[in-house]
Amino acid sequence: MAKRKIGQFEINPIGLGCMGFSHGYGGRPDEATAIAALNHAIDIGYDFLDTAAAYGMGANERLVGKALRHRRDEFTLASKCALGATREGGRAIDGTPEGIALTLDQSLERLGVDHIDLYYLHRRDPNVPIEESIGALARGVEAGKIRSIGVSEISSDLLRRAHATHPIAAIQTEYSLWTRNPEIALLDTCRELGVTFVSFSPVGRGFLAGAVDATTTYEQGDMRGPMPRFNAPNLAANLALLDAFRAVAADQGCTIAQLAIAWVLARDPAIVTIPGTTNAAHMDENMGAQDVALSPARIAELDALINQTTVSGSRYTPAMQSMVSTEEFA
């Protein structure tokens, strides 16, 4: 599959979300295993890696830096600010210019690099005009600490305001067969403005890869634990969709994870996706999705099977939803 663009960078359309090595899910590998897996990712062609200051309160950036700073010229590096440790030592959203400047310097130190290729505003601070937060990132560009600016989990209107302040290279939000919110307005706005759309969780936090069943329990700290889609009564209804999904994958000659990723990539020739995994074999599997060619009829079949009307439960709890401003279906 041809490379796709984020700002000045040309990358493989399938990148690697690194969060799971330090945050969000259970079963994290030890450091040596994690470092080996990250290097394996580069070895097999991953050239766009995504981390954040919030993941493990800086631990994920330190891990990525330790594992890969010696291979810095082999991949495009993305990280994020404004969500995580505050200047006072707590955990919150801080989109103030002062908070962003501090987090940027801390990110550079943890990663062991002199610049970050794509630095996102991880969450919009509701107490700070987005123009002020983007302005702080623009000063990071002027200082040579950031190559390009991204935003995450914001609405189309906020994207327009951010882009009017400084060119936005990419917006990142959840997008998959079972999370269609970007189709309301955001994908169209990205096409209009020339902003690359980066899809995270293309396999539905493991659900569309078959990692969840009726017996699954979640370790403490696993973000899926409270999510409505992963709990009764919604879980049983959602699991009922997987038999047909598996049958489609078998007919297509691929795994269900590959089918889910291929669907995302087929939505638009400019979309980039960053499935997250800590498992080298799953990295191989996910990368194989770029060889799965879906016909228009197959895409229509998948669209009808799993969509916002057939999936049960919201993607976030009310508390988690309050931290994002993406459009929601009625």
Q: Is the pLDDT at 86 greater than 70, yes or no?
A: no
Question: Could you report the per-residue pLDDT of 139-152, keeping only the tens digit for each?
Answer: 999 999 999 999 99
Question: Could you report the per-residue pLDDT of 12-65, keeping only the tens digit for each?
Answer: 999 999 999 999 998 899 999 999 999 999 999 999 999 999 999 999 999 999
Q: For residue 177, give Cα distances in angstroms to 43, 103, 126, 265.
A: 29, 34, 29, 11
Q: What is the DSSP annotation of 80-128?
A: EESEEE-TTSSEEE--SHHHHHHHHHHHHHHHT-S-EEEEEE-S--TTS
* Ranges of H-type helices in the chain: 31-43, 59-68, 97-111, 130-142, 156-165, 186-193, 234-239, 242-252, 256-266, 280-287, 296-305, 318-321
Stretch (H or E) spanning 10: strand 9-11
Per the structure block, which two tokens stand in for 24? 């969000």
Res. 330 pLDDT band, cuts 50 70 90 = confident
Question: Could you report the per-residue pLDDT of 144-182, keeping only the tens digit for each?
Answer: 999 999 999 999 999 999 999 999 999 999 999 999 999
Q: Is the pLDDT at 88 greater than 90, yes or no?
A: no
Q: 3-class secondary structure for 189-207?
A: HHHHHCCEEEEECCCCCCH
Give me the torsion for CA of 126, 130, 136, 138, rounded to 10°. Answer: 150
The domain defined by 4-321 folds into: TIM Barrel (3.20.20)
Using an 8 Å Cβ cutoff, are 313 and 234 in contact? Answer: yes
What average pLDDT does this structure show over 84-111? 85
For 172, the 3-state DSSP assignment is strand
Using an 8 Å Cβ cutoff, are 11 and 48 in contact? Answer: yes
- pLDDT higher at 87 or 160: 160
Strand 91-93, strand 16-17: pairing: unpaired
Question: Could you report the per-residue pLDDT of 265-293, keeping only the tens digit for each?
Answer: 999 999 999 999 999 999 999 999 999 99
Res. 1 pLDDT band, cuts 50 70 90 = confident
What average pLDDT does this structure show over 117-140? 98
Q: Is the pLDDT at 89 greater than 80, yes or no?
A: no
The fraction of the chain above a pLDDT of 90, given in percent, is: 95
Catalytic residues: 55
- What is the pLDDT at residue 79? 98
Q: Is the pLDDT at 87 greater than 60, yes or no?
A: no
d(CA 5, CA 180): 22
d(CA 195, CA 94): 24
- pLDDT higher at 143 or 220: 143
The residue length of the chain stands at 330
Q: Is the pLDDT at 191 greater than 70, yes or no?
A: yes
Per the structure block, which two tokens stand in for 127? 């107490």
Using an 8 Å Cβ cutoff, are 137 and 166 in contact? Answer: yes
Chain mean pLDDT for the chain = 96
What average pLDDT does this structure show over 221-242? 95
Domain segments of the chain as ranges: 4-321
Q: How far apart are the first and last CA of the chain?
A: 36
Q: Is the pLDDT at 129 greater than 90, yes or no?
A: yes
For 279, the 3-state DSSP assignment is coil
Res. 92 pLDDT band, cuts 50 70 90 = confident
Strand 9-11, strand 4-6: pairing: antiparallel
Q: Is the pLDDT at 83 greater than 60, yes or no?
A: yes
